[in-house]
Structure 1
Amino acid sequence: MSTYSSLLKTSGVARIIAAQLTARFPFGMLSLAFLLHIERIHHSYGAAGLVLAAMSIGQAIAGPMTSRLMGVLGMRVVLWTTLVACSAAVAAIGVFVMPVPVTMAVAFFAGLSMPPIQPAVRTIYPKMVNSRQLTPLFSLDASAQEIIWIAGPVVITFVATQVGTVEGILMAVAIMLAGGAWFIASPEVGRVRIPRSKRRFGVVLARPPVLLATVVGFLLIGSCAAVEAGVVANFGEGSPFSGIVLAIWSIGSLVGGLAIGHVPIGPWATARRMLIVTVGVVISTFFLWSWWGLSLTLLIAGVGIAPALAVLFAIVSASVKFSDTAEAYGWVGTGQLIGAALGSALAGFLIDGTGPAGAFWIAAAFAFVGFVVAALAHRVHPDLRGRDASPIPDTEPVPVVPS
């Protein structure tokens, strides 16, 4: 823990972590808020899954593009523009009762304009700490973001069930605006300038570690999205157990990230962490009848989530030039969002057809394939044991004056 305490004492680190967590806090609320809101209006988890999928697809399309634009227009311009547009779209879904196709279109726009806060902060981190602190910082960040998934589901479940789903969505919008403004106003956001990339758009995805992180992230988050939908459906929209179980699941991820997130990253690191997730989710399919049994098994699954994400962030950082980091993280985010879209949609349809167990079958399948992919790709997985995880420096020709 001394590693993490020294990190938090580094100038600006605690502030930027707190600001970006606040800005991203609504992301831990919106999926459940939309799930409960759309199901209440249209009485279909399948319809809710389609709306969530539309938003995630919009995010997936925009992620690499808005991330790359930060190197052209500057971080603050891109972040302010997307923040205002996204907040308006999310508020519209909560305030106006619309047919499912129209709601999907608005959700798609909300996803398309989602502020690229995660790529921005991942790009800033290497400029805030020395090379030895970078991997622990990624681990601390991945662990700390579990606060989003611990408190977010609990807060939105309480507000949506006890006050109303519209109020829950509007609360998420208010937090998004306040947190986004705090993050954008942070000195570090104005201090770091992302160089304009000289490579064609999408070329960075051809680097094996970036592709590996994108694919495994897609499968990991797809599994998580299916679990989330399955838990809500399992206990019903009026039950407080949904938020409790999801919070315990996230506590497992927080504990796992702090306990093993700083362990040196070898070629099998991602596979080992995905195996933990797989085992926990598979066991959870046998405990749907009990909230405490499901909490315990998902606690086990959660132990692998934050450490797996920390590894994915680190191998991307160590494999690309600084000018390409934002776009690379944008592609990783796109993979995760496509996974969330597919996981939510498949889970929603299986819940309507076979019950909550179907969502957990989907989650187990996603996690297992993620483990297999990581295991098969261990030869291209960077070995960062004793290595610097900082991005590769951008170099420019240096003119030489003849003597």
Structure 2
Amino acid sequence: MSGVVLTLHVVGALDEGYGRAGVVAASLTVGLAVGAPWRGRLVDRLGLRRAVLPSVAVESAVWLAAPHLDYVGLIAVVFVGGLFLVPVFSVVRQSLSVLVPPAQQKAAFALDSVATELTFMLGPVLGVLLVTGGSSVLALTVVGVATVGGGALLLWADPPTRSASGAATPAAGPAGRVVTPRLLVVLLAAVAAAFVIVGTDVSLVAALNDAGRPQDVGWMVALWAGGSLVGGLLHGISPRQPAPLVLVALLALATLPAAFADGRGALAVAVVIAGLPCAPVLASINATLVRLVPEERRGEVMGWGGTMQTVGNALGAPLCGVVIDRAGAGAGFATAAVVGGAVAVVGLVVVALAGRRRAHGGGVPVVTDVVTAPVRDLREDPARR
């Protein structure tokens, strides 16, 4: 909700343009990108309650002040808000990796992605309703209450982020290294997936604006998220585990038909198709990240995963926007698909070459295991359990 509400507040209540509203959104994004690994690392080192309590206190002050600040003050405060944002996503996924048996974690992470899709369907709509039916000050206050309330709920529930036995899982890399080729490949998948998703978002809005139907954005985005929700449920019940880079390539391929959609009906069908792989991609990335690192570093690494998705957003939105300005919305969809797909394919090729070199004694660490291994049934592989 925060992005759309901040934009409407800057444009409406502060009487600034959309360009200056973008600066506020960028300030929040930079804060999120910098703060996510740091907040996750604090959870690893200090435990959930000691790490989250300062976030709750800072977020309370940020969102209490934000509705009443001028433009410059708002830029500074939302950066602090992003920096100290309660690490809900990383904590939930850390906790799932502890509470859910390994054989069922794919389904759990898929359900997590489906729940996230529901928030992206409902949050912006609720934000717009609060602004239009009340005011942007009211909407920003609701954002603050929800943010602080989520943090308070985590403090109360205190879900486990470590195994009860206290036994840490082994590090993925040699000599206990956490930053390994495997991890870097998954983070690359996170960048590519975010690039495709944000490029699709920008292109969809542009396509409807160009067609003179901006009022259709809401239900078109809901269709897109609905496709993702269905894909996430199907991914969760399937025993097969496609690798993150494979799913990113599939996401890019599913996005391509939107570039050639002619008319609202065709575009509606295309965005549903484009949405189907979204939740599976994110679920696969999160499930793989928690398997690649020891428990005592999961919060930090999940934070890095969020940062890489932020990087993908920061790259995809302006690049696709420039292409749309020059060649239209269809070219924006195509750019999102081609660039994201190319990154996935290059990653797959590099991994395959590295694995082949390792097989011939070249000494390059194998990065194929949980990152790009052939699709298999998890229940038939004891090593995965």
- The yes-or-no answer on 1:260 pairing with 2:231 is no
Note the residue ranges of structure 1 that are not aligned, 5 or more in a row: 1-28, 391-403
Which digits, 9 at most, give the CA deviation of each residue in 1:51-102, with x for residues without a partner? 3232222211121121111122221121121133235334544433314xx5
- The yes-or-no answer on 1:35 pairing with 2:10 is no
- The yes-or-no answer on 1:215 pairing with 2:153 is no
Q: Give the direction of change, closer, same or farther, for the CA distance of 1:51–1:216 in structure 2 (3 Å limit).
A: farther
Match of 2:117 among 129, 141, 146: 146
**Matches of 2:167 and 2:58, distance apart in 1:** 26
Give the structure-2-normalised TM-score. Answer: 0.79
Question: Do the aligned partners of 2:194 and 2:310 also contact (CA within 8 Å) in 1?
Answer: yes
Give the structure-1-normalised TM-score. Answer: 0.75
Q: Give the direction of change, closer, same or farther, for the CA distance of 1:97–1:286 in structure 2 (3 Å limit).
A: farther
Any idea what SS the aligned residue of 1:55 has?
A: helix
- The yes-or-no answer on 1:51 pairing with 2:32 is no
Aligned 1:51-200 pairs, distance under 5 A: 51-90=24-63, 92-99=65-72, 102-189=73-160
Q: Give the direction of change, closer, same or farther, for the CA distance of 1:166–1:240 in structure 2 (3 Å limit).
A: farther
Q: Give 1:134 shift.
A: 1.8
**Matches of 1:82 and 1:271, distance apart in 2:** 33
Question: Do the aligned partners of 1:270 and 1:374 also contact (CA within 8 Å) in 2?
Answer: no
Which position in structure 2 is the counterpart of 1:276?
250
Q: Give 1:273 shift.
A: 2.1
Q: Give the direction of change, closer, same or farther, for the CA distance of 1:50–1:121 in structure 2 (3 Å limit).
A: same
Match of 2:314 among 318, 325, 341: 341
CA RMSD of aligned residues (A): 3.4
**Matches of 2:323 and 2:120, distance apart in 1:** 24
Q: Give 1:212 shift.
A: 1.7
More displaced, 268-277 or 214-223?
Answer: 268-277
Question: Do the aligned partners of 1:46 and 1:345 also contact (CA within 8 Å) in 2?
Answer: no
**Matches of 1:94 and 1:352, distance apart in 2:** 33
Q: Give the direction of change, closer, same or farther, for the CA distance of 1:250–1:308 in structure 2 (3 Å limit).
A: same
Structure number with the higher helix fraction is: 2
Q: Give 1:222 shift.
A: 2.8
Q: Give 1:153 shift.
A: 2.5
Note the residue ranges of structure 2 that are not aligned, 5 or more in a row: 356-366
**Matches of 2:299 and 2:3, distance apart in 1:** 25
Q: Give the direction of change, closer, same or farther, for the CA distance of 1:206–1:191 in structure 2 (3 Å limit).
A: closer
- The yes-or-no answer on 1:241 pairing with 2:241 is no
Q: Which amino acid aligns with 2:216?
A: F
Q: Give 1:47 shift.
A: 3.2
Aligned length: 355
**Matches of 1:334 and 1:142, distance apart in 2:** 17
Q: Give 1:187 shift.
A: 4.5
Which digits, 9 at most, give the CA deviation of each residue in 1:187-233, with x for residues without a partner? 5249868889999xxx9662223212212112212332333344445
Q: Give the direction of change, closer, same or farther, for the CA distance of 1:111–1:316 in structure 2 (3 Å limit).
A: same
Q: Give the direction of change, closer, same or farther, for the CA distance of 1:344–1:166 in structure 2 (3 Å limit).
A: farther
**Matches of 2:205 and 2:302, distance apart in 1:** 30
**Matches of 1:52 and 1:226, distance apart in 2:** 17
Q: Give the direction of change, closer, same or farther, for the CA distance of 1:230–1:96 in structure 2 (3 Å limit).
A: farther
- The yes-or-no answer on 1:300 pairing with 2:273 is yes
Q: Give 1:140 shift.
A: 1.7
Any idea what SS the aligned residue of 1:115 has?
A: coil
